[in-house]
Amino acid sequence: MGSNAYRIIQSTTKPVISVYSDKYIGDVKRIVLPLDITKETREKVPLVATIAKAFGAEVHIVKVASSDSEGIKNKLEIYAATVRKYFDQEGVNYQTSYLIGDNITDITIEYAKTVDADLIAIMTEQTTAFSNLILGSYAYQMLNTSPIPVLSVTPKNLYMTTYRVTGGN
C-alpha cells in the first residue's frame, strides 16, 4: 500500500479497513486490539466491540511496548483493565497478552499470525518515537506490512486539530 493510500486513510474521520494481501474480510473470528501508552489508543475500543459483537468474534487485547519499564507496564495494565471492563459490560469475549519488542508493528503482526487473526485494529497515528523517523509511523508500517486486514481509526483530537488548522468544513 503506498503513501497515497495512507494519506487517504489518515485524512478521513471514518474507520477504514485495508486489505493488503489476498486475505479478505469475510468471517471475523479473532480481532487483535493492540494497546500502547498513548491516550488515543482506547478510542478504537467501542468500534472493535461493535464488530466483535456483530461477528461473535473474540478480541485479543494486546498490551504492546518497546520497553519493560514498570511505569509503562502499569499504564498499559490500567488501559487494559478499562478495556476489559468495557468488554465485560458489552458481552465481548476477550483474551489479554503482553508483548515487548523493538518494533511494535512486527510483534503485533507476529502475534496476529500466531492466533490466526482476521483483523488488526489500530489508530492512524501513534507514538512519535525516534524509531518512527527511520521506519515510518506505526500505522504506516502496519498498513504496508500486515498480511492481515487492518482497521484504521483516526484519533478524534488529531482529526479535529487537522480540521481547524486546514480550515476544513
Write the pLDDT tens digit of every residue in 49-105.
999 999 999 999 999 998 889 999 999 999 999 999 999 999 999 999 999 999 999
Mean pLDDT of 4-32: 75
For residue range 96-145, list pLDDT tens digits in order.
999 999 999 999 999 999 999 999 999 886 444 443 333 347 777 887 88
Residues of the domain holding 94: 26-166
Radius of gyration of the chain (CA): 15
Three cell numbers written together for 92: 465481548
What SS3 state is found at 16?
A: strand
What pLDDT does residue 164 have?
A: 39
Bridge partner list, 65: 100
Gap between the Cα atoms of 113 and 5, Å rounded: 24
Q: What is the CATH number of the domain that holds 32?
A: 3.40.50.620
What pLDDT does residue 91 have?
A: 97
Mean pLDDT of 3-8: 66
Closest CA relative to residue 59, chosen from 24, 83, 89, 27: 83
What b-and-e string marks burial along 85-119, b requiring 16 or more CB atoms within 10 Å of the CB? ebbeeeebebebeebeeeebbebbbebbeebebbb
Gap between the Cα atoms of 159 and 43, Å rounded: 13
In a domain, 10, yes or no: no
In a domain, 14, yes or no: no
Which H or E run includes 81? helix 70-90
In a domain, 13, yes or no: no
Closest CA relative to residue 129, chosen from 48, 72, 90: 72
| Domains contained in the chain, number | 1
In a domain, 6, yes or no: no
In a domain, 103, yes or no: yes
In a domain, 157, yes or no: yes
In a domain, 7, yes or no: no
| pTM for this prediction | 0.82
What pLDDT does residue 15 have?
A: 76
CA dihedral (145, 117, 155, 42) positive or negative: negative
In a domain, 63, yes or no: yes
What SS3 state is found at 59?
A: strand
